[in-house]
Structure formats: structure tokens, C-alpha cells
Structure 1
């Protein structure tokens, strides 16, 4: 997927009335399936007709129709999450039935549309994938290397002094790591060659 993914900056809600039924979409950023399920539990209304939901956290996803006909609620909510290029997000759409049946197509549009409207309006933040590198730097080059790392949005997570310099672990956005490695190699004239490490 080329579109940059986003998560929500904060929980958000959006309400619509469709043929006398009230639909309340509530979305929140989540870091784990357990957190998503806890969110659904906390904001779902037991007195409502249905509390249908979906979440996506990377490759992990789930959805629930909560008594609506199969495929008419949870799946369209998940499709709205994906369609809005969101990740690490949970959405619950609560429906209070207003007496007019919507039919399968109407339910898909109502649940998917409410979820998409909520996510479109919610404040978002881009998801930045972070990578890490490890390196050893001589004392004489330490100040210069620190400056180069910070110029490219790197963050020195660990710095351990050793006999003739320092061992460092640096984290930075994945798309900046190659540039940081290049700057460090240049600044130290090849004496320090960082290696990528798994986070």
C-alpha cells in the first residue's frame, strides 16, 4: 500500500440519522487487540439495538455484526478503516433502531458510511515506522556524529562509554536510516560503520 497509514490522535465520535435509525460511530487509536476489545466494551451501549465493530492493527483484524445480517455491519466498518488508510484503529457503530428496515444494501451503506465519516473527520497522525542502528564512535568524533544524527531526526537511545569512545544505539524513522548511516560513515571517514538492529 503506497498511501501513508494514519492512526487517530484521540478518540472521536460522529453521529448520523438514517431513516429514523440513529447511528453513532466511535473510533479510537489502539495498540493491541485486547485494547480494541476493551474500547468496544467501554463505549458500547447495552440498551442499543446493535453495537457493531471492527479493528485493524497491522495484519491483525476482527469484526462483529452483533446480530445484524452477516456481512452488513462489521465488514463494512473494517472496509471503512482500510479505505481511510487507517491502522491501529478500532471503530464501533452503535445503532438505535427507528422502525424502518434498511435492507442489506442499506445496512452496508449505513454502517460503512458512519464509520468512514467518523474517520474522515477525526484528527489523525501519520504512523512513522522506526528503525534502529548500533555503532561505535571514537571520542574525537563524538560531537560531530551526535550533530549529524540529530540533523536527520535521529534519537540517541543509548550511549555507553568504552575505552576509546562510545557505543550508541540510535533510533530514527525508517526512511531516514540510510541517510544517517551515510552521514556517520562520511563524518568518521569510514572508521564508524553503523549496523541495523531489530527493534
Structure 2
């Protein structure tokens, strides 16, 4: 499993252009799942029900996870719309993203090369104006410790970008924290060193 952070859309965006009297409107949105991507496609199709084509592509998970990709030419000649849309998305390095390109036809044929350029180009332009944020991959850990070690641990949370999720106070303290997956090993080592191995760090999976 790849635990490195990746970029996702911060908010939806759109780009519109006219090519040989056809109007192409590219819609981009954050879609964290395949279901969300399909729901976004359906939403755009309802909004632009009068359009001749609503072609689409999506990358519903990590940018490189092709198991979470999908596309459709929606009536355009095979390979002229969905694939160019998906090619732009998958090459962008942005994950959890869907694109729907709405075409209102102006009656002039663009040819297969023109269609590929129009659909792929619209997504390329929309991606240029897309604002993204970094999605960090996190996990929860349980830390069992003495009361005296709590202030030290809380200062360590800041160093490792971790957050306290909940705390249970009894004979000792049990804290649940959320931390980036790629910080787990150095965090665990630091806790063991600082506490002289008195604090215990465990994942929720191996209780």
C-alpha cells in the first residue's frame, strides 16, 4: 500500500470554450469514490440534459490506481472523448477527481482528431485553474502511558503532526491519536526512547 500523500481537488471548477460553433463545457469535481464520481456525472447530465453529449472520465482513488478509473464517450466516436479526458486526469497527478465535458453541437463536424483535441484540451485547461490540497494518509494509534509522561507526549504530537482523538484516564492514561501513516515508525521509536520503553504504542488492528 502506498502511504504517500497526494493531491485532490479543493473545490469544483469549470472551463468553457467554443470550437467551430460547438460549445464545450468542462466540469471538474472532487469525487473520493467511484459512486461519488458516477453521481457527479449524473448530476451534470441532468443539468445539461439538452446537450448532445456529456462525456466523462474519473480517477476515483489514488492518481496511479487504475482500478479506480472509468470513462465514457457518451455517443461520440469511440476513443475520441472518454480516453482523452481520462488521459489528462491520470497524467495530472491529482486523485479523487472526475471530469464531465458537455458538448452543445453547432452542426460542424470536428473529425476524430478535432474531437480528441477538444475534449482533452478542455480538461487540460480546466486542470490549469483547479485548486488542489494535499490528502494525507492517516491511521489511529493507541498510546498507553503514565500520567507523568503526558506533557512530553503532547509536545511530541506537534512534532509529528499528530492529533489526539480521545483519552481514557484510569490507573494510567490511554490516548488514541491520529497520525500520518509514514510517521508511525519514527513516532513509535521516539516514544519508546523518550519514555525509556515505559509507554506502549500499538495500532488498533493488533489489540
CA distance in 2, matches of 1:186, 1:150: 17
Q: Structure 2 residue aligned with 1:126, among 131, 134, 153?
A: 134
- Name the TM-score, length of structure 2 as normaliser: 0.87
Q: Which residue of 2 aligns with 1:15?
A: 16
CA distance in 1, matches of 2:37, 2:119: 18
Q: Structure 2 residue aligned with 1:80, among 88, 105, 109?
A: 88
CA distance in 2, matches of 1:184, 1:41: 49
CA distance in 2, matches of 1:86, 1:192: 39
Given that 1:84 and 1:120 are in contact with CA atoms closer than 8 Å, whether structure 2 keeps it comes out as no
Q: Structure 1 residue aligned with 2:59, among 56, 60, 85?
A: 56
Given that 1:4 and 1:85 are in contact with CA atoms closer than 8 Å, whether structure 2 keeps it comes out as no
Q: Structure 2 residue aligned with 1:105, among 100, 108, 113?
A: 113
What's the secondary structure of 1:69's corresponding residue? coil
CA distance in 2, matches of 1:81, 1:60: 12
What's the secondary structure of 1:48's corresponding residue? coil
Shift of 1:174: 2.2
Shift of 1:46: 0.9
Shift of 1:107: 1.3
**Structure 1 position 161 matched with structure 2 position 169:** yes
Q: Which residue of 2 aligns with 1:46?
A: 49
Q: Which residue of 2 aligns with 1:146?
A: 154
What's the secondary structure of 2:198's corresponding residue? coil
The Cα offsets for residues 82-104 of structure 1, whole Å up to 9 and x where unpaired, read as 11111111110001112222222
Gaps of 5+ in 2: 62-66
Gaps of 5+ in 1: none
